[in-house]
Homo-oligomer: A and B are copies of this chain.
Amino acid sequence: MKLAVLADAIGGILDGDGELEITGIAGLADAGPGDLSFLANSEYATMVSATAASAVVVGRGWEGRAACALIRVANPDKGMAMAANLLGPSLVLDAEPGIHATALVAGDAVIDPASSIGPLCVIESGAVIGARTILMAGCYIGRDTVIGADCLLRVHAIVRERVKIGDRVILNESAVIGSDGFGNYRDGGEWKKIPHIGTVEIADDVESGANTTIDRARFGKTLVGRGAKIDNLVQVAHNVYIGENVAMAAQVGISGSSRIGAGAMLGGQVGMAGHLEVGEGAVVGAQAGVTKNVPPGAYVTGYPAMPHRKAAEGHANLMRLPNLKERVRQIEERIAELEQKLDLGCR
């Protein structure tokens, strides 16, 4: 594809030779002649002057030195996503509409004819699968579960009974939606299982990562709001509420009945105790342990999670303790000297 055509296709302004032929796409360090690359993270800005790429997608106002043509766009991540769809290998799945001969579909399940049910899928009684939704190999859909249109369930994804999934939802490999919440009560010295008669509702445009588990509610619903993006190996417990456009990185764990406000972002391995709230637009740093409510818009880190500035100051103070100890030691010397002087001279 000619560079001028590509720039046009991604809504960018070309700064360079539009006749260049672009054949691939690569990171700044790996790119060679014929490749398109991009600069989204300003940390890598100096690499633009050294890359062997034929062209680099940059932000509109970028003013650094470049060794090649530039395509200026408002949002380099978006531009590059568009370019990847044009230049990359097709990500369209070989999914023919229809039900694979080896899939096991209950007679009363309602399968849209434009959906694609892959090999070895199991769909239980009363389930509904929407138009153009793709179930790859080995997916499981429980009784009376409803999956919307244009969803993609990747290999071995599991959605248990009575769950509702919206449109354009992506469930990655071996994700488990609607697993039992972890609830037991003590009866004498023993734990007895609390039945979880509730369910899970996942709104439109949500993505759940591979091997992520989202538990069903004790009663009522565990809710994942529209556009929320959840990475791999995340645990979402019973009765949790995840707001719209929340982003949660890998291995996050949210305890029961907690709420994450719209647009909040949780870094990798964050843990959150139960019955708490993270406010809208808040950011929780990686590995933080949330033990009380986080206000909207706050940026918290550490364990227990606190405003990042406070956590950073706490850490800095800790690291400077040897200095403080030394000051105290010197004070003790000086005071002993003073006491001696007073004893001797000022009596």
Q: Is the CB of A80 within 8 A of B194?
A: yes
Determine the residue in chain B with the shortest Cβ distance to A303: B287
In the complex, which residues of chain B have a beta carbon less than 8 angstroms from the beta carbon of A338? Answer: 335, 338-339, 342
Partner of A317, one of B205, B269, B321: B321
Determine the residue in chain B with the shortest Cβ distance to A341: B342
Q: How far is the CA of A140 from the CA of B207 in the complex (A)?
A: 21
Q: Is the CB of A137 within 8 A of B140?
A: yes
Protomer copies: 3
Q: How far is the CA of A190 from the CA of B239 in the complex (A)?
A: 24
How many residues of A are counted as interface, with CB atoms below 8 angstroms from the partner's CB atoms?
116
How near does chain B come to A313, taking the closest CB pair, in angstroms? 7
Q: Is the CB of A255 within 8 A of B235?
A: no
In the complex, which residues of chain B have a beta carbon less than 8 angstroms from the beta carbon of A211? Answer: 174, 176, 211, 213, 233
Q: How far is the CA of A324 from the CA of B323 in the complex (A)?
A: 12
Partner of A120, one of B104, B179, B231: B104
Tell me whether A185 and B75 are in contact in the complex, defined as CB-CB below 8 angstroms, given that A197-B89, A322-B317, A346-B345 are known contacts. yes
In the complex, which residues of chain B have a beta carbon less than 8 angstroms from the beta carbon of A173? Answer: 158, 160, 176, 179, 213
A-B contact pairs, 16 of them (CB 8 A): A25-B197, A77-B194, A104-B120, A155-B160, A156-B158, A184-B229, A193-B207, A209-B213, A211-B233, A213-B232, A249-B255, A251-B251, A318-B318, A321-B324, A338-B342, A345-B346
